[in-house]
Amino acid sequence: MGRTVAEKILSEKSDKDVAAGEIVEARVDYVMVNDVTGPAAFDEFESLNVPLMRDKVVLIPDHYVPNKDVASAKQAKRMRDFAKKHDVDNYFEIGSGGVCHQVMIEEGFAAPGRLIVGADSHTCSYGALGAFSTGIGSTEAATVFARGVLWFRVPESMKLSVRGSLGRHVTGKDIILTIIGDIGVEGALYRSMEVEGDAISSLSLSDRITIANMGIEAGAKACVMPPDEVVYDYLSGRVRGEYRAVFADADADYVDSRTYDASNIVPVVAKPHLPSNVSPASEIAVDIDQAYLGSCTNGRIEDFRIAAEIMKGRKVHRGVRMIIVPATKKVMEQAIAEGLVKIFMDAGAFISGPTCGACLGGYMGVLAPGEKCVSSTNRNFVGRMGDKESEVYLASPAVVAASAITGRIVDPSEVVE
């Protein structure tokens, strides 16, 4: 019997052939923590009184930066002090980085065949480049700080194929929301999702990252796509060190296999309060108070280009706040260079520097009771972006931008053909 991507990577990193269900101790290529999860990891690591495996450690403040209050300032200072004490090169201070997952990809840490862990649930994003990446707790991160290895239960895998041609305005966000709407928020619980097909290979890397990012919203341990020339070209001159691409065997064993016809996928929205509560955008027509474009899910330059195409020459609807947050400094620089920031500002949108911001209800767009927000982020749980009586509708950048113009959630085709 052949092996899945998860089985192959975990076999290589544990120096033995392993199969789904086995417990292994595997070598980790990189471990990442942010300003929220880092301090607890630092405390645990310091208690071990051992040297830091500094080349494997990546520190990225992003959740509450710039600091919004004294508590968040203390968290950021802990990270800054830890980086200085242990001479950590891979520390991305405010002004040099951005949202952790996009930084990990931009800075060449993520690559095919690697095993990467991060103290943030959306670490699964790096599967877009063919890595096995997964979220862990702060205590587990401290273990990797000290030993460079971590135990894993090798997950079962499921194969999700998307075949055919995608329609106008259909993006990676619509694909993953459609999949989650089908399998549910526990449909991939502790499984590795292998997402493939000609519709996937036709996507930009940005759209693939969006899909991998939201694998966790179906409960997945990892969400992996087969790397190709799109990935290799992106990594050329960027990747740190060597890498080796890993692909599933043709006779690999999957606990579930599903195929989706790309031509049947339309722009969709996940209504409150679950990412699986999915309906076509054309059927919702809910009035909104806020439109939010950004996050590790959809804060890349490709997302901004999509929104700018829709918003150019138009105005944000009276009574709607539109907040746009680039994922990293590099994204912001490129958006400025391409004139996208001017398009957004001319339309009446507010643009900030890179931060997780309101995605987790931190700041920069927190919702009041009863307010409704259409957002390109990844979660719409009760109180996720503010008051527990507020509502978050998850959508693609195209739907977010079109809805900001109309003042209600719409299919982008209602604004542009």
Report pLDDT digits (tens) over 239-283: 999 999 999 999 999 999 999 999 999 999 999 999 999 999 999
- 252/113 Cα distance (integer angstroms): 17
Residue pair 265/133 in contact (Cβ under 8 Å)? The answer is no
According to DSSP, residue 231 is labeled: H
Q: Which residue has the tokens 């499984």?
A: 191
- 23/155 Cα distance (integer angstroms): 10
Q: Which residue has the tokens 């539109």?
A: 322
- 360/62 Cα distance (integer angstroms): 11
Q: Residue ranges of the alpha helices (H) in 86-204?
A: 100-106, 138-147, 172-183, 198-201
- 383/395 Cα distance (integer angstroms): 17
Which CATH number does 269-414 carry? 3.30.499.10
- 300/168 Cα distance (integer angstroms): 19
Paired tokens of 239: 């990747």
- 29/234 Cα distance (integer angstroms): 19
Instruction: Assign 222 to helix, strand or coil.
Output: strand
Distances in whole angstroms, Cα of residue 300 to Cα of each of 101, 195, 204, 207, 364: 11, 21, 11, 9, 18
Distances in whole angstroms, Cα of residue 311 to Cα of each of 224, 359, 398: 33, 22, 10
- Give the CATH fold of the 5-260 domain: Aconitase; domain 3 (3.30.499)
Q: Residue 401 — left, alpha, or beta (φ > 0 → left; ψ -120 to 50 → alpha)?
A: alpha
In this prediction the pTM is: 0.96
- Please state the φ and ψ torsions of residue 115, each to the nearest 5 degrees: -110, 110
Distances in whole angstroms, Cα of residue 287 to Cα of each of 137, 369, 391, 407: 38, 15, 11, 6
So what's the pLDDT on residue 148? 97
So what's the pLDDT on residue 417? 79
Residue pair 288/405 in contact (Cβ under 8 Å)? The answer is no
Residue pair 66/72 in contact (Cβ under 8 Å)? The answer is no
- 176/38 Cα distance (integer angstroms): 29
Residues in the chain: 417
CB atoms within 10 A of CB 196: 17
Instruction: Assign 291 to helix, strand or coil.
Output: strand
Paired tokens of 171: 């993006």
- 133/101 Cα distance (integer angstroms): 11
Residue pair 193/176 in contact (Cβ under 8 Å)? The answer is no
Name residues of the chain where pLDDT drops below 70. none
Q: Residue ranges of the alpha helices (H) in 17-69?
A: 38-48
Q: Which residue has the tokens 């950021």?
A: 76
So what's the pLDDT on residue 1? 77
Instruction: Assign 24 to helix, strand or coil.
Output: strand
Spatial CA neighbour of 396 closest among 245, 266, 268: 268
Per DSSP, what are the bridge partners of residue 98?
A: 328
CATH 3.30.499.10 domain extents, the chain? 5-260, 269-414
Amino acid at 126: Y
N- to C-terminal Cα distance for the chain? 48
- 24/140 Cα distance (integer angstroms): 15
Spatial CA neighbour of 116 closest among 223, 270, 35: 223
- 109/239 Cα distance (integer angstroms): 6
